[in-house]
Amino acid sequence: MKHIDGSVKIDSLFFKEIPEILNGVHIKGDFDVSFNVLKSLNNSPVKVDGAFKCMYNRNLKSLLGAPKEVGNIIVHNCSLRDLNGFPKIKKANGHVDVSGNRLTSLVGLPTIVVGKLSIYNNPGLKTLAGCPELVRGDFEALWLPITNCIGGPKYISGDLYLHDTEINSLEGFPKEVTGNVYLGNTPLGSILFPKNDGQTSKAHALYDEIRKICKIHGDIYKTIEDIEENPEVEMDEPDYEPDDEGGYRRV
């Protein structure tokens, strides 16, 4: 097998197809073919030890023909309809990013992602079925029309981003999240973060219910911007209360 010791960068060159010279090659660095006009991944290298970067190929509807193995894969903002042809992820910290596509299914993802998993902004994706059970990094599932977490990861070694979704149920919610959970701009978030102080008892009840279902090492917020760097400055404000970890959380 032919191999290239370094990386190959052929982005932003208006390629309609990958040059045939790369067909079957083993690239030991990264392979970047982003910002082109690819319609297929024919002639791809067979293996990429580093990152396979193929973002912003707006005409690309399928991963068929992609490398068989990659270190991580970044194919956001293409026009993928499904994940047929998804490569094996071999890197210890392999990032998987399929955000900003037209996916209606996540079938084809690996059973474990040892790194960040980004699936956000797929407007036709109404279910998390097909997700790995374990994500050893952040799980970014924001900006989706999902109403529950059925089929999603059970264990997340990072933050869980569910804000700006239609989440209205705790069905399928993870068992453990080692970081924070973000639920702003959702039906659940409207209960957790009420505008009316008279609804705080419902917020507390839902907060406790989530904590019983999921072992959260961090806390629950609207979005990442909701975390105050110096919360002690506002401890006297009515929208904060003590949490179980000796700190404060927004209610």
Name the pLDDT band for 239 (thresholds 50, 70, 90). very low
pLDDT of residue 223: 94
What pTM did the predictor assign?
0.87
Name the pLDDT band for 218 (thresholds 50, 70, 90). very high
Whether the CA torsion 150, 151, 153, 155 is positive or negative: it is positive
Judged by phi (left if over 0) then psi (alpha if -120 to 50, else beta), residue 65 lies in: left
Name the pLDDT band for 249 (thresholds 50, 70, 90). very low
Long-range CB contacts for residues 239-243, cutoff 8 Å, separation at least 24:
243/219
3-class SS of residue 130: coil
3-class SS of residue 73: strand
Average pLDDT score over residue span 225-241: 48
Is the distance from CB of 92 to CB of 112 less than 8 angstroms? no
pLDDT of residue 200: 84
pLDDT of residue 227: 80
Instruction: For residue 232, give every residue at least 6 positions away whose Cβ sits within 8 Å of its Cβ, in sequence order, or none.
Output: 248
- Nearest-5° angle of CA 6, CA 11, CA 17? 100
- In angstroms, what CA-CA distances link 64 with 29, 140, 239? 21, 24, 50
pLDDT of residue 228: 59
- Condensed to tens digits (0 to 9), the pLDDT of residues 88-101 reads 998 667 899 999 99
Which range among 1-10, 100-109, 232-241 shows the weakest confidence by mean pLDDT? 232-241
- Condensed to tens digits (0 to 9), the pLDDT of residues 161-185 reads 999 999 999 999 999 999 999 999 9
